Structure 1
Amino acid sequence: MYMKKFILFFATLFISVISFAQSNSEHLTFKGVPIDGTLSEYVAKMKSAGFKYLGEQDGTVILQGDFAGFKSCIVGVSTLKAVNVVSTIGVIFPACEDWSSLERDYEHLKSMLTQKYGEPAEVVEKFQGRVIPDTNNEKLHELYMDRCTWYTTFETKNGNIQLSLQKGEYSQYFVLLKYYDKINSDTVRSAAMDDL
């Protein structure tokens, strides 16, 4: 009788430990692909998912493809050369020329992310200027002048996701979505700490 309880206890403990280890070793996913592996391995997976290779710059591979219902998004896959493990994915959605389109895309993506990941951990959507803008042109001008902070962060056990409004060169405005894999971001951070 005691032996059965003893075996049952250790079997339950073993299964619990295995389950915990598996859940702690899961990576955040992008388009269903875990954010893991070397840069070349991950890029090969993204090409298989329909993304087109555009080039590489400073350890970031630039791809283009459709994502979340948007055509021709630019995707950056980043790693640190010293570690060569993918840790961050960034998506630049098609540029908008007016505030209402930019905000519409942002709100649409925010709604989908909330549906998938739950309520955001942090939402900051504000203008820092002395005067609060009224018109769409004034709001866009505040973004251009870096007096607009607009982002939403989702935290998951596998990493963080941040949606934001950004300005590019030549008066381009876009929504940026970044995925930070927890396991690999910690690995990259650890390697950076070794430099200090």
Structure 2
Amino acid sequence: MYAISLGEGAELGPLEPWQAEEYLAHLDRGREYIGEYIALAEIAPDLESARAFLRSYAEKQAADTGRIYGIRLDGVLVGGVLFPNFDAATGVCEVGCWLEPAGTGRGLVTRAARVIIDWAVEARGMHRVEWRASSTNKASTSVAERLGMVHEGTLRENYPYRGIRHDTEVWAVLAPGWRAHRER
């Protein structure tokens, strides 16, 4: 229905349940890469589960507790950004991301995250935006740095995934810091 240009043939737009086939095809192209650090690819191994996952985000959006957006490159879904947690009452939200290999190395996640963080801070009045990533996922923690976030700490061995307990780094930016970073 609408898309926001990210430049260089890339666009950011909503990801909705009716797009489950496209979402599943995208996951199938990048399943191993996407699943290296996060369980997103494992949550939707088939069309029914892909539709259910997107429906859960449609319900989160209706409840104002989360949102999901797709990143398309030349019209092909290659990744996305999302608010897995969005608490308007406290002014705190979390931003996350994923990409298939075809979308990497282009700055797509950084540009897309800037769009949704700016919306969260300016349109919705969020005061704190968090970013959580595996300590071994240097691509993700580098995005947090580029977004002007501060590394606040590491949750040691808090994320059991594929038989290993992973550390999770917590990064965040506060609204005044976001505005200052955006102005630079």
Fold match, TM over 0.5?
A: no
Return the TM-score normalized by structure 2: 0.28
Structure index of larger Rg: 1
Q: Which has the higher contact order (CA 8 A, sep 6+)?
A: 1
Return the TM-score normalized by structure 1: 0.27
